[in-house]
Structure formats: C-alpha cells, structure tokens
Structure 1
Amino acid sequence: MRGYLFVFAQSHSEFRIPEIQSIAELYGFSLQLPELESVGPFVVIGLEKEDHARLLAKRCILLKSVYEFWGQGSTYEELHNSTRAHKSLWDPYQQDTSFRFFVTAYNHTIPQSRQRQIMEDFSYMAYLGKIELKQPELVMGCFEEYDDTRGLAKNRVKDGNFRQVYFGRLIEEGSARALIGHFDVKKRAYYGNTSMDAEMSLLMANQTKAAPGSLIYDPFMGTGSMAYPTAHFGALVIGSDIDGRQMRGKEKPAGVFRAATQYGLASRILGLFTFDMTRNPWRCGDLFDAIVTDPPYGVRAGAKRLGRKTEPSEKHKEVYRERLASGRTDQPYIPPTKPYELSDLARDLVLLSRYLLKPGGRLVFFLPTVTDEYEDVDIQSMLCEGMEVIANSLQDFGSWGRRLVTIKKTATTSFPPPVFNTNDDTSWLGPSGHVPAHKDFREKYFQGFRKENS
C-alpha cells in the first residue's frame, strides 16, 4: 500500500478514524492505519489506490484534504532525507508541470520570511515548470504540527513545541464539509431545542454507512435531525417517536416532511409513526440496514415509556368507570407515560436492534456519561449475544461527555421479538456490581456531578 497524508479539521479528534473506517468499508476497500494512541490533525494512512483517497475526501465530514505522502520528519533534515527517498513519486513532475507550493502549521503561525526559506530549502527538487498560484497542475503542501496549547494561559504560552513536519502532493480537497452549512439547523424549516447539530448528524450518518438502497430506522425521531443526512446519502428512512407532536409540529404538512422537502428529500422519508419503542408494531425482524438515533436523556427532554408512575386511586377508577358507563367517548384517550431510565433504554435499544437489523447492520447512537465514573465495561454491559461494539468516540464537555457508540450485528441468524422488562431491575449492572456512568444521568447532571460523599 502507498502512503497518503490525511489533513483533518480541528474538531472531534476521536471521531476521525471510525469515520474513515466506516466509509472505506462502505466502498469495499481496506486501510493500513498507523498504531497511534491518539490521532492528530495529520495522519499517514496506507491505501491501495489513489481513487480510494478521492472517495474518502468526497464523503468524510472531518476530512479537509488528502495528499500523496512524500516525506515526514521530526526535524527538517529528516523531512528532506525522507523526501529524497521518495524521489520516484515527485520526479515525474520536474520538467514542465505548473506548480504551487505552500507552507502552513497547526497551532502555530509561520512568518512569511520563514515560509520563503522553507520553500527554498526544497530547491534540490529542481522543478522547471511555471509557478502558477490560481490553477496549477501540481499543488505541494508542507505541514508543521505543534503541541496543542488549548487550555493554557495565552500570555505564557504562544505556541506549543514543534512535533512533526509533513510534505506531499494534493490529490483531493475535502468536499463533504460543505454539507455542514447545507444542513445548518438555524436555516432549517423545522427544528426544536433538542435537534442535533449538522456536523454531528452527518458523522452519525457516515457511521451507518448510509447509501442508495439502504433502509434506516430512527426510533427516537424527534424533529428528524438524523433523517436528513442519511436520506441525502441515498438511504430510505422510517422514523417513530412516543410523542408524535415532536415529528408533526403545529403546521401541516408534518414538520419533518417540511424540512425534508426543503432539502429535496421528502420522497426518501417512507413514514412517521407514533408508538412506544418497547411496545412496537414490528412483526418481523432483519428489516433494517442501520438504526441511528439520539435518545433523550433528560437534560432538555426526558425519555418516556407507556405506563403509570403510580397506581390510580379508587376515586380516579370510579370516575373512569362512570365515563365509560355513560358512553362519553368524545374525548380522545391519552395513554399515561412514565420516565424511561437511560440505562434501561440503552439496554432495550440494543435488544430491539438485534431483532430489527439485518446481519452486519449497525446501531449508531449517543450515550451521555459522567467522565470520572466511565469505564469500558459500561458499554460492554449493555450488549447481548450477537452484538459487538466496533466504535466508541467521546465528545468531551469536561465533567461529562457523550459517546457515539457504533454496535454491529455479528449474528447471522434471526432472533425472536425481544421481551422488555417493564419493572425496575438490576440487569444493567456490570461485573462485580459496577454501576454504569450513564445510570441516573439526569439526576447527576442537575446535581452538578457531585460525589455522593461530598
């Protein structure tokens, strides 16, 4: 495999590699990834073909550009030695190719005089073509990486320490990032206070491997934030919610359809249904290629399920019996609901997904966790037979964060409809009685994540 330099946007560092892997799997080619504990803004990845790099640049949301890798070093001397060793890659452009050369840095500002000096140091390449700034045939980039200084006192630390420098030939600019502005929530015809931001919903859509011909389901549809990007990539979408008002809004047609029409995607929204996830109408499994959702966790809107918080009093029962006896059925029946605890919801969502997903299908959802209490076993404890975690990326907010969890159905056999426990139990407990960091998240959030003994 040949090396390609990937230049990422300066956001969501933990989401970079899972997104690249998902899109590579979607298009059916393999990657050679470096063994790194953390992924910086510049990563060299092995690919079999240059066309594969172009496919990734056109689909991955976090990818700014892809370069053919020509050199790397922790000093400029190492960089030039590495570049000379790759002469077979850049030698064909020496004679009559118009070119442009630029130098940039991450977490650092390079003075113009130093940029000029860096360019002159590559004189051994002896390019004879015309320098063209607007539409060159060849674009070469030199990228310096410095330590991240975010969170440090600006008056003390201006730049981090120099780490690496990379050099290569531009293959493709990332075009998918333009979709963030296209799906901007503020410009949307219908949205709510819990609508997912455009960049994150696009990342989730890529994790589902949405593509023409795929069928995707959102069991907590809300205002439809997951539906639009998945439909944009060609998928057909079905949504449901226990509260149909979230999907419909106050005007006609339904709010989700109005927003989908704005994007030209209404024909790909197959239907919206109102029901409790644990009392669903699905009568056969192995239906969907992916399930993608952002379950409510109680900060802005709490999850609900059918049932009563407490048993009705004898007085209420008597009033109900009199109403039925008198034949007064003019008022619609509104079923009672009760809170749906997040740890129970997550466990039930995995069970439902195992039933509804096709073999190899994916469940993609957000799970909020308390930072100091989180352990890897929290995610593992919600799994069931035939389901496997393939990605777990954290969006860190300090004392808490939300994890984008991607679970794959590895089982090849069908499963019967799941039976959901309607009573409180302790099946969410991990090994040795460990309590997951997402248990009772709503209460912990409003208490400011204070320790019980403080």
Structure 2
Amino acid sequence: GCRPLWLRELIAESIVGVMPEYLIHQAWGDAKSFEDFRLPELEALADMHGIGPASEPPLYDIKDFDPLSPFLKVNLPNEEVAKNIAERSMMMKNIVEFWGEAKTAGELQAVVKAYIERNESTVRQYMTTGTFAFKLYGFGKTYQYKDQMKVLKPFFELGFKNKVKLKNPDHQFWIFFDHGHHAGGGDNGPPKKVYFGRFIADGMRHVCNTFSLKTRPFIGPTSTVAELAFVMANQGQVKMGSWVLDPFVGTASLLVASSYFGAMCVGMDRDYCLLHSKIHKKHAEKKDLFTNFRHYGLAKPEIVCGDNAYPPWHAREVYDAIICDPPYGVRAGARKSGSRNRLKGKKVNPVLTEHDNAHIPSSVPYPVEDVMADLHDVAAKYLVVGGRLVYLLPTVGEFDPKSLPQHECLELVAHSKQRLTAGFYRRCITIKKIKAWKEGMACRRRDKTSEPAPCWEDVKSKLPRKKDATDVKEKALEGEEERPPEQRNPLMVDNDDHRNEGKEQAPPKKRKVSNENMK
C-alpha cells in the first residue's frame, strides 16, 4: 500500500546516506564518573585505525553528540574496524551496525523494514541462518518484561526465519530507547529517539573487575583505578610493542594497563623505600609493584630509581607514550632531590664514593609549576615524533588550556574532566609531539611577577579544610535558610574526605584483640 508522507520522508533521509553506519552505546554514570572522557578516547582509538580529524566523512557529527546521552552515530570503514575499536574501548559498552532510528517503536519498525528491503542482499543472511535474539535497553527508563514483549512483537514480523535463542545467539539485534537523563529520576516521558542495530562487539569494560584495586595485591593511596588507567592507555595509543614511560611510577597502576596491551614499560620514582619494598613490617609478607604484574601474568616493567627533575636518560627519542599521575601535592606532596642546606645558604658536604650505593639523597619541595614544566620538557625530549604525553591534573575553578606549559614540540590534543567535588576537578591532559627536539628547546616558564597563577597551581590550599566543611554542614543542619557570605564555599564536599573520591580503597584491616583486653 501507499506509505504515509512522514514515513516516506523518514526513509528518504536514510537513503541519501546522512545516517552513519554504526551506533555506539557508551558508558554513562553519575557526575563523578568519566563521561567527559568518551569522545577523546573514541578519537584516539579511531586515529589508531587511520581515521583522523581530516577524514571524510568525519568520524561523527558533533551536532549528533549529546553529553547527556550514551548514544552516538559514527562513520567507520567496515565491521572489522568497528569491532577492533570497541574491543579496545573502556568507555564503550557495545557497538551495533546502524539500521535505523525514529521517534517511536512503531515508526522504527517501518524504517527498519525499509532498510532491510534496500539492503536485502547483505542483511538477509542474518535473518535466515543460525540463531538470533532481540535485546532491548532503555536509557532513562526501565522496561519491564511485559513492556519489552509489547515493543518487540512487531519486529518479529520483519521476516526473520532463523530460530530464536536468548542465550549466546549467533546474531543479536538491539533496540535502544533514549529517554534522556533527568537528575530527579522517575518517568521521563516518551523517548527522544529509538534506535535499531545489529550487534557487532562489546567494549572492554569487563576488565574493570579483573583489575580492580579491591583485589589487587599491592596498592597505595594514590593508585589509579583500573577504568581510568585503561582510558589513559587508550588516549596514549598504547599498542603491542610500544615503549611506555611513567616517570612517577609509584605502585605502577598505570603501567599495568599499558602492559596489558603489550607495551614494554619503564617506570621511574625517587622513592627508594617504595621501589625496594622497604615499607613493610618485618614479619609481614613482602610485596612490591612487581607482585601485581605476577598476579595478572603480565610482563614486568623496567624500574629505575631516579628523579624526573634530573632525568637520567640519554638524549634519544625512544618512548611512544609517557603516561603518569604527577605528584601535584593534594595527597602526595611533590619533592625533588636537593640539599636543604643549599637552600639555606649553608655548606653542602659531598657524598664520599664508598657511600654512593647506600646513600639516599635528601629532598626539597618541588613546586607544581616546576613539576609540570619539567614533565613537558621530558616529553619533548624523549618522545618519538607522533608520541603522546597523557597525565592527570587537578584544577579548581575555571580551566584555560593555555595555562598549561607551552613547548614548541608539543600540541594539545584533548583534555577531559572528572568532577570530584563542586569546583574541584581531575583532568586528563593528552598532548602530542609534533616535531623533533633540538638542543636549547624548553618550556616557556610563567613570569610570576606579571602573570596570574594557573588554576592547577597549589590546589591543596584552595580546598576547604575538614573542620571548615564540618562547621558549615552543622550550621546548615540547624535550619539556616541562608549561610553567611563568609561561610559560602563553592568547594563544599559531600563527604568527610574528598581526597579519596574517585579512587577505590583497600578494605579496612582487622584489629587483633588480645584475650587480656577482653577480660
């Protein structure tokens, strides 16, 4: 019969080819998770497969991107590339071959029917061979079993001849309802869009449980959660055979992710006791950062006891990626090797040769601006051209990318943010080396007499103290309608210790109680 005008127009849009071939279902959570990391990770993985910013057609249309939706249509050359990108992505739940979209399930059924008619030679095999199953997912609304069956029933009439198998079918077909995100919850009304697609591959979010800090043998207070570590490895474009450096290695949580992808890892830290496992009690089981690599069956990294302020490397461009979490002074104070006596103008006694091996150098404070400038200098000097520097940076207030250290060899690629508390963010900075380093090149340093300090300088002093936060909370509980101006704090935290937010914590230790104390 004659199709209605609205359906002819909807089908016409599909025929002209403005709709991309694939639909990705991205991870989406609360405000403290990593939604802002979705596009930078996707772009980095696509670039690894030759799909860059200048590609035609573009990877995605920015007009289609909704920061409050987990769905995004993308252009990819073929199913193999789509599968490879998905299986490397931490921020992607799955990817499907895009068959159509509409405003309602009824309209979607008609659009998918037209898609099948136009592409019968390629899609009929998925509808006649093996087994199949329909899957339904609602974003912003939960669909009960009865509601799901009501939606799915018309799609069985599209000509599927193969047998239904709900568990491990040969072919999966997904229907996604996007009702939008509403902070208040509840029924969000009719869907904004409904999508249909053939399942291609899942993302790699399953490794979050495998590499969780909760089950990792050796961790520290600044160990990076698995999800973020893998995202940073992806943005660093780490692959089999890559050389990766972490100049602030700590417990090597970032190198675990890079090693998983087959990289040859090198770590450096100035904490002699941590690297040599001298932080345990005498009778405790000895563990060190290598314990984690043995636990996961990964290649162990090469570890150097050194200081990034005075890098020990030969001046060669060797590393494909530098991935790190610098000591910016919020939880781990930044220090570098140096003489405290020299700072005070006193005489410095040299270390005798026979004491070299056992000598642990003294340290002095390491300003955050110097930490960042030295890190960029190291990246410019030791990265290969095209290599990437990926690091975490805390900020308070407005962030201007131009406030980052500037180097003529380096170019900012992306910056993502994770909100830890109101006004306090942890950002992931991705930088690419665009030309070879030459002697004399260095980061431009800020003129502290005439230029304002960046928002990432001395973050710790800008955070509320625990006592201040507690006082304000107590007064709010007393029923004050409006806080005094001097007590208004845009950085008010929601728990007692903001510093541990965004990090998985080790389970509490059990206290041993003697029989005498029980009497």
What TM-score range do you get, normalising by the shorter chain?
Answer: 0.7 to 0.9
Shift of 1:307: 3.0
| 1:426 aligns to 2:446 (yes or no) | yes
Which residues in structure 2 correspond to 1:3-18 (within 5 Å)? 3-11=21-29, 12-18=34-40
Q: 2: CA distance between counterparts of 1:331 and 1:23? A: 44
Equivalent of residue 428 in structure 2, options 404, 408, 411: 404
Write the letter of the residue equivalent to 1:50: E
Which residues in structure 2 correspond to 1:321-332 (within 5 Å)? none
Write the letter of the residue equivalent to 2:253: S
Pick which of 222-231 and 332-341 moved more. Answer: 332-341
| 1:34 aligns to 2:57 (yes or no) | no
Cross-structure match for 1:304: 335
Shift of 1:257: 1.8
Shift of 1:100: 1.2
Change (3 A) 1:102 1:266: closer
Q: 2: CA distance between counterparts of 1:407 and 1:135? A: 41
1:355–1:416 CA contact under 8 A, matched in 2 = no
Equivalent of residue 214 in structure 1, options 228, 242, 247: 242
Equivalent of residue 374 in structure 1, options 399, 403, 407: 399
Cross-structure match for 1:111: 144
2:218–2:287 CA contact under 8 A, matched in 1 = no
Q: Deviations over 1:337-396 (max 9, x none)?
A: 2222223322221121001100000000001111x33233333xx121021111111111
Cross-structure match for 2:321: 290
Q: 2: CA distance between counterparts of 1:328 and 1:376? A: 48
Equivalent of residue 167 in structure 2, options 96, 110, 134: 134
- Local SS of the residue matching 2:81: helix
> Which ranges of structure 2 fall in alignment gaps of 5 or more residues?
1-16, 53-57, 470-484, 489-519
Cross-structure match for 2:494: none
1:103–1:142 CA contact under 8 A, matched in 2 = yes
Cross-structure match for 1:55: 84
2:272–2:360 CA contact under 8 A, matched in 1 = no
CA RMSD of aligned residues (A): 3.3
- Local SS of the residue matching 2:460: helix
Shift of 1:436: 1.6
| 1:190 aligns to 2:210 (yes or no) | no
- Local SS of the residue matching 1:56: helix
Change (3 A) 1:79 1:436: farther
Change (3 A) 1:328 1:446: farther
Q: 1: CA distance between counterparts of 2:395 and 2:189? A: 31
Q: 1: CA distance between counterparts of 2:24 and 2:99? A: 12
Cross-structure match for 2:502: none
Change (3 A) 1:116 1:208: same
Q: Deviations over 1:124-154 (max 9, x none)?
A: 513233222224332111111122223x3x5
Cross-structure match for 1:75: 104
Change (3 A) 1:348 1:58: same
1:354–1:415 CA contact under 8 A, matched in 2 = no
Q: Deviations over 1:201-257 (max 9, x none)?
A: 111111121122211111101110111110111110111112122333236987122
- Local SS of the residue matching 1:140: strand
Change (3 A) 1:220 1:428: farther
Change (3 A) 1:220 1:137: same
Write the letter of the residue equivalent to 1:216: V
1:304–1:338 CA contact under 8 A, matched in 2 = yes
Write the letter of the residue equivalent to 2:331: R
Which residues in structure 2 correspond to 1:166-205 (within 5 Å)? 166-174=195-203, 176-205=204-233
Write the letter of the residue equivalent to 1:290: A
| 1:440 aligns to 2:451 (yes or no) | no
Pick which of 75-84 and 132-141 moved more. Answer: 75-84
> Which ranges of structure 1 fall in alignment gaps of 5 or more residues?
none
Write the letter of the residue equivalent to 1:8: Q
Q: 2: CA distance between counterparts of 1:166 and 1:118? A: 12
2:309–2:371 CA contact under 8 A, matched in 1 = no
Which residues in structure 2 correspond to 1:79-94 (within 5 Å)? 79-87=108-116, 88-89=118-119, 92=124, 93-94=126-127
Change (3 A) 1:324 1:276: closer
Change (3 A) 1:215 1:410: same
- Local SS of the residue matching 1:279: coil
Cross-structure match for 1:361: 387
2:317–2:381 CA contact under 8 A, matched in 1 = yes
Q: 1: CA distance between counterparts of 2:37 and 2:334? A: 26
Change (3 A) 1:427 1:233: farther
Equivalent of residue 273 in structure 2, options 230, 245, 259: 245
Identity percentage of aligned residues: 30
Q: 2: CA distance between counterparts of 1:189 and 1:453? A: 43
Equivalent of residue 339 in structure 1, options 349, 352, 365: 365
- Local SS of the residue matching 1:139: strand
Q: Deviations over 1:307-357 (max 9, x none)?
A: 35675768x75xx76x999x9969954433222222332222112100110
Change (3 A) 1:331 1:345: closer
Q: 2: CA distance between counterparts of 1:426 and 1:383? A: 10
